[in-house]
Amino acid sequence: MDRLDNTIRPYAWGSTTAIPQLLGTEPTGEPQAEMWMGAHPGAPSRTGRGTLVDVIDADPERELGHACVAKFGPRLPFLLKLLAAGAPLSLQVHPDLAQAKEGYADEERRGIPLDAGHRNYKDANHKPELICALTEFDGLCGFRDPVQAADLLDGLGVDSLKPYVDLLHAHPEDAALREVLTAILTADPDEMTRTVADATAACARLGGAYTPYAELAHHYPGDPGVIAAMLLNHVRLQPGEALFLGAGIPHAYLDGLGVEIMANSDNVLRCGLTPKHVDVPELLRIVRFEAADPGVLRPEASPDGEEVYETPIEEFRLSRYVLPEGTAVHDLTRATAQILLCTAGSVRAGEHDLTPGQSVFVPAGERAEVTGAGTVFRATVIV
């Protein structure tokens, strides 16, 4: 197996302290938002044999396993991350596989450069993802019941929000949610700026359930995403709890440190809380206008101590082992490639000693014995 040397991405929303604290390093004063583990061409992990992209390209079946290559092609199907939010991320959705293929092909036909600011589809893949909290973790996930969203908006006492409140009481609920989100994102910018300012003042005054939205407005003053965010479920995960974000589900991460895994894609359509391009017509085509419980996931334990976060996705499978002192050796050998990440304590994976934030890539079929006292996350695929 290969010890991984991973890139930390300094996105502006990143925490300046969470990843350094996990790694036991001194903060630099700059944001450290994500640490990428995998073979994404944007920031592939490095090994003693070259980048993980180079390693896999040299012999995909040896590294990934025959079944994985047959099902997903000659590349690692997932990207594993440490994600540390010190400020809210953009409100966003991801396309399903058919939508991604169609959107990518269309933008390719129209000759839109991949690095263009108004490009929506960077590749032809979908981007389902799972976030598992390492600390308390705040996020927004999926639409609230429209009546509950109406009550939240109405409680602000802002006259310019009354039309949205009335729309949310209309039926059917999917049409009501669509109409309100469309109205928010297409409103006159000056009028929306005033509405957000009035709503922000009310959120700060009322506190309680309104506190997260006052915080959003602090980071994104005047952004229509502040109002759109009130249509969504606010979720606070405890360590070990997780959220699965499927296609078309609007979401945003607000604060906290977690382990994130996703299909290997860059496709994001933004709804707000961002200075970046918002393609309203395409966004409305992708969003699933369904009110639903966000569905907090807790791991399901197996007899051998593996705790699995079950999702309907085959490109990735995330689980963890919480190993107490004196634990016997765990054999994690698998016919598909895997990445093992230590997040607590000290463990030994093969010949590698791992402390929090350190990881290894295990080729398909490679013997993978783990022991020690700590927590290890395991990322692999389902074939």
The pLDDT tens digits of the residues spanning 9-51 come to 999 999 999 999 999 999 999 999 999 999 998 899 999 999 9
CB-based contact 318:261 (threshold 8 Å): yes
Among 3, 75, 144, 270, which one carries the catalytic annotation?
A: 270
CA atoms of 345 and 357, how far apart (whole Å): 10
The pLDDT tens digits of the residues spanning 265-317 come to 889 999 999 988 899 999 999 999 999 999 999 999 998 899 999 999 999 99
CA atoms of 252 and 114, how far apart (whole Å): 24
Q: pTM to 2 decimals?
A: 0.94
| Sequence-distant (≥ 6) Cβ neighbours of residue 364 within 8 angstroms | 62, 63, 64, 65, 66, 68, 334, 335, 336, 337
User: DSSP 3-state assignment of 324?
Assistant: coil
The pLDDT tens digits of the residues spanning 209-241 come to 999 999 999 999 999 999 999 999 999 999 999
pLDDT value at residue 325: 84
Nearest to 255, CA basis, from 309, 204, 219: 219
Nearest to 222, CA basis, from 177, 270, 187, 179: 187
CB-based contact 319:205 (threshold 8 Å): no
The pLDDT tens digits of the residues spanning 178-196 come to 999 999 999 999 999 999 9
Mean pLDDT, rounded, of the chain: 95
- pLDDT greater than 80 at residue 328: no
The pLDDT tens digits of the residues spanning 75-129 come to 999 999 999 999 999 999 999 999 999 999 999 999 999 989 999 999 999 999 9
| Amino acid code (one letter) for 100 | A
270 as an active site residue: the answer is yes
Enter the tokens of residue 305. 């101590």
According to DSSP, the residues that pair with 35 across neighbouring strands are 8, 82
Instruction: Band the pLDDT of 329: cuts 50, 70, 90.
Output: confident
Full DSSP string of 58-119: H-HHHHH-HHHHHHH-SS--EEEEEEEESSPPPEEE---HHHHHHHHHHHHHTT--TT-TT-
CB-based contact 82:257 (threshold 8 Å): yes
Helices and strands in the chain, H and E counts: 12, 21
CA atoms of 274 and 225, how far apart (whole Å): 8
Nearest to 29, CA basis, from 10, 16, 13: 16
